[in-house]
Amino acid sequence: MKFYTYAKAVGNNILYRGYENGKQIISKVPFKPTLYIPSRNPNAEWKSLYDSKPLEPVVFDNIKAAKKYVDLYKDVQGMEIHGFQKYDYQYINNEFPDEFDYDLAQVNILTIDIEVVEALSEEGFPDIQLAEVPIVLISLHSTRNRKTLVLGIKEFITSEEDGFEYKYFPDEKSMLKYFIAYNKATNPDIWTGWNTSEFDIPYIVNRIMKLFGKEMVEKLSPFGIIREKMIEVRGREIQTYDIFGIIDLDYLKLYKKYGIRSAKESYTLDFIAQEELGEGKVDLPGNSFRDNYNNHFQLFVKYSAIDTVLVEKLERKMKLIELAFAMTYMYRCNVQDIYRTVVPWEVLIFNHLSKNKIAVPPRRDAIENDYDGGWVKEPKAGMYGWTMSVDFASLYPSVERQWNISPETFVASEYNLRPDDFLSNSEDSITAKARAIELGFTLTANGAMFRKDKAGFLPELMKYCMEGRKIAKKEMIKLEKEYEVTKNPALIPKISALNNKQTALKLAANACYGAIGNKGFHYYEYRIAEAITLSGQLSNIHLSIRLTLN
C-alpha cells in the first residue's frame, strides 16, 4: 500500500511525505515537469481542449526550466503553452494516476494545546506576534500511541486516574527544547487542535523565535522550512505560519466548514464539546488564568490536558479528519486545499483531462461581470393547513449535465435572454430555440448555447460525482445491514470509508459551481456561471407555476 500525505513544490524539488508498505517516507524528490506545445503531427497522442489540435509534450530538466520557458514565450503570439503549471499536482498525478487504497491508522496526528500565563501580573489575551508571555503548559495527544502527554514548568502531583503523563521542566526554554525534540522524533504528519491556526501554531513559532532564534524554529519542519503567512479572519489579518512538511488541520476550521449545518451560539471548545459530546472542559475555581495557574495548578493541568482529549473525542465521533482525507484523495490535491474553492476543482479537472490525453489549456481572457444567482419564491404571509416543501436534488450539477454545460462546449451567445423570456414565450426566445435546434446545440436560460456533439468535462465529472455517490451509498447501506446481523467489527472501518466517500462526492458536486463562478477559476467565464444559475431559476419558477396551477 502506497499513499501520500504531503507534496509541495519548492525550488526544483517536491517535498514529499507519505507511506509505503507501512513505512513513513520523507524525501525531497527532483521533479521534471511536462508542458505541451502545438505539434505538426496530426496523429499526436495529446490534444488541446478547445479545438482538439495536436500537441506534443516537452519534458523539462527541472521546475525552474519549465517556469523560464513559460516566461520566455508568454508574449509570443501563436505560441500557446498547454499543461497544468501547478507542479505539486503534476507530481501527485504522475505518482497516483488512479484511485488508491490508504490507511489513516498509519498517519501520525498530533493534537496540540498550549497555555500561556504571566505568573506575576494580570494579562489579557497575549499578543501573538510579540509572544512576550511565557508558555507554561503544552498538552499533546498522539494517534501513534493514543496517549496524552503534558509538558509543564511547575511541579505536578500525578495519579493513575488522571489519564495522562506529566513531564516537569525547570524552565520554559528546556520545555520548548523537549517539545522540538519530541516533534522531530515522532514526525507527526498533522498538527491539529482547537484554533491552532490562529493561536497555538503562530504563538509556538513566535515564542521559540524570541527565545532561540530562526534556526531552532526551523527544526519544527522535517524539511527545515517555515514561512510566515497572513490570513484574513473576520475582516482583519492574522499572522500564522506554514511549517513545511506538517499539515495544519485546525479542528475548529474543519468543524465550521464540514461539521455543522447551522450557526452556533459559540465556537469555544467547551461549548461545542457540550453540544456534540455532552461533556466539557474542567471547571476552574480561580478568577483568572493567573489565579488558577498560581493557586489551583492541579486543576489547571487537567484543564489543559482535557482540551486535546476533547478534540480527539470529537474526531472519533465526527470523523472530520477522515472526511478531509477522503476529499483530498478524491480530488488528489493536498489536504489543506480542501478549505479552498478553486484549487480542488482545477486539480480534479486536470486529472480527468490527463486520463483522456487532453492538456490543460492556457487561461483565456474573460470578462468579469456580475450575474444573478438563485431564485427564492416570495412567500405569501398567512396561516396554512397542509404545506409542501419542494427542492431539486443537486440542482446545479443536474443543470450542468442536462444542458452539457462546460467551457469547451460553450458557444458565444447570440441572444441575451432571461427566464421570463422563456416563461412568456417571447419572440427572442422562440428565435433562439429555433436557432439552437438548427445548430444542434442546447439553449440555456441566459441565451448561451452549448454543443451536444461531445460530452463536456464538467458534465462527465458531475456524472462521476453523482453516480459514484449512489454506488458508494448503496454499498454502505448493504454493509450496514450485514453488520446489524453479524456484528463483525471488521465492517466498521469499511462502512466509515464508504460514508466518507459518498459525502466527499456529494460535497465535490455541490462545490463545482462555487469554482465556476469564481473569477480566479482557470476556466472562468461569467456567461457559463450565469447559464447555470438562470437555468436553475427557470426550473424552479416553472415548477412553482405548475404546482400553483394544479
pLDDT in tens, 59-101: 999 999 999 999 999 888 888 999 999 999 999 999 999 999 9
3-class DSSP assignment, residue 281: coil
Q: Output the pLDDT for position 311.
A: 95
Q: Output the pLDDT for position 247.
A: 97
Q: Which amino acid is at 117?
A: V
Do 34 and 138 lie in a common domain?
no
Q: Which of 96, 123, 150 is the last residue of a domain?
A: 96
CA 411 centroid distance within chain: 32
The predicted model gives 366-393 an average pLDDT of 82
Q: What does the DSSP assignment read for 72-134?
A: HHTT-TT---BS---HHHHHHHHH--S-----GGGS-EEEEEEEE--TTS---SPPTTT--SP
Domain at 79, CATH number? 3.30.342.10
Could you report the per-residue pLDDT of 5-36, keeping only the tens digit for each? 999 999 999 999 999 999 999 999 999 999 99
- Please, which pLDDT band fits residue 121 given cuts at 50, 70 and 90? low
Q: Output the pLDDT for position 79.
A: 87
Q: Output the pLDDT for position 310.
A: 95
* Contact of 32 with 120, CB cutoff 8 Å: no
The predicted model gives 236-257 an average pLDDT of 93
Residue 464 lies in a domain: no
Domain at 245, CATH number? 3.30.420.10
Do 173 and 299 lie in a common domain?
yes
φ and ψ of 453, to 5 deg: -75, -15
Angstrom distance (rounded) from CA 272 to CA 264: 8
- Dihedral sign, CA of 345, 346, 349, 354? negative
The predicted model gives 470-475 an average pLDDT of 94
The predicted model gives 389-418 an average pLDDT of 90
Q: Output the pLDDT for position 123.
A: 57
- Please, which pLDDT band fits residue 443 given cuts at 50, 70 and 90? very high
Q: Is pLDDT larger for residue 548 or for residue 272?
A: 272
Do 81 and 162 lie in a common domain?
no
DSSP for residue 99:
-
Over the chain, what is the mean pLDDT? 92
Total number of domains constituting the chain: 3
DSSP for residue 361:
P
Is the per-residue pLDDT at 135 higher than 70? yes
Residue 470 lies in a domain: no
Lowest mean pLDDT among 26-35, 76-85, 172-181, 451-460: 76-85
* Contact of 534 with 372, CB cutoff 8 Å: yes
**CB-based contacts of 543: which residues, under 8 Å, 6+ apart?**
390, 392
Q: Which of 46, 72, 96 is the last residue of a domain?
A: 96
Do 72 and 23 lie in a common domain?
yes
Residue 125 lies in a domain: yes
Is the per-residue pLDDT at 345 higher than 80? yes
Angstrom distance (rounded) from CA 445 to CA 449: 9
Q: Domain span at residue 268? A: 105-321
Provide, rounded to the nearest whole percent, the portion of the chain with pLDDT above 90. Answer: 79
Do 165 and 270 lie in a common domain?
yes
Q: Which amino acid is at 516?
A: I
Could you report the per-residue pLDDT of 189-241, keeping only the tens digit for each? 999 999 999 999 999 999 999 999 999 999 999 999 999 988 877 778 889 99
Residue 482 lies in a domain: no
Q: Output the pLDDT for position 544.
A: 84
Of 356, 340, 353, 376, whose CA–CA distance to 507 is shortest? 340
The predicted model gives 351-378 an average pLDDT of 89
In DSSP terms, which residues pair with 59 in a beta bridge? 34
Do 204 and 56 lie in a common domain?
no
The predicted model gives 167-180 an average pLDDT of 97
Tell how many helices (H) and how many strands (E) occur in the chain: 17, 17
Residue 509 lies in a domain: no
Do 44 and 112 lie in a common domain?
no
Do 257 and 302 lie in a common domain?
yes
The predicted model gives 426-441 an average pLDDT of 94
- Dihedral sign, CA of 345, 351, 357, 362? positive
Residue 35 lies in a domain: yes
Q: Output the pLDDT for position 122.
A: 59
pTM of the model: 0.92
Do 375 and 404 lie in a common domain?
yes
Residue 387 lies in a domain: yes
Cell of 527: 456567461
Cell of 181: 525534540
Domain at 411, CATH number? 3.90.1600.10
Residues 153, 158, 162, CA angle at the centre, nearest 5°?
A: 110
* Contact of 406 with 361, CB cutoff 8 Å: no
Q: Which of 74, 96, 118 is the last residue of a domain?
A: 96
Cell of 62: 527541472
Q: Is pLDDT larger for residue 43 or for residue 365?
A: 43
Do 35 and 116 lie in a common domain?
no
Residue 314 lies in a domain: yes
- Please, which pLDDT band fits residue 124 given cuts at 50, 70 and 90? low
The predicted model gives 530-537 an average pLDDT of 94
Q: Output the pLDDT for position 507.
A: 92
Do 34 and 57 lie in a common domain?
yes
In DSSP terms, which residues pair with 29 in a beta bridge? 14
Q: Output the pLDDT for position 120.
A: 57
The predicted model gives 510-537 an average pLDDT of 93
3-class DSSP assignment, residue 222: coil
Q: Output the pLDDT for position 548.
A: 72
The predicted model gives 481-492 an average pLDDT of 91
Do 230 and 154 lie in a common domain?
yes
Is the per-residue pLDDT at 380 higher than 90? no
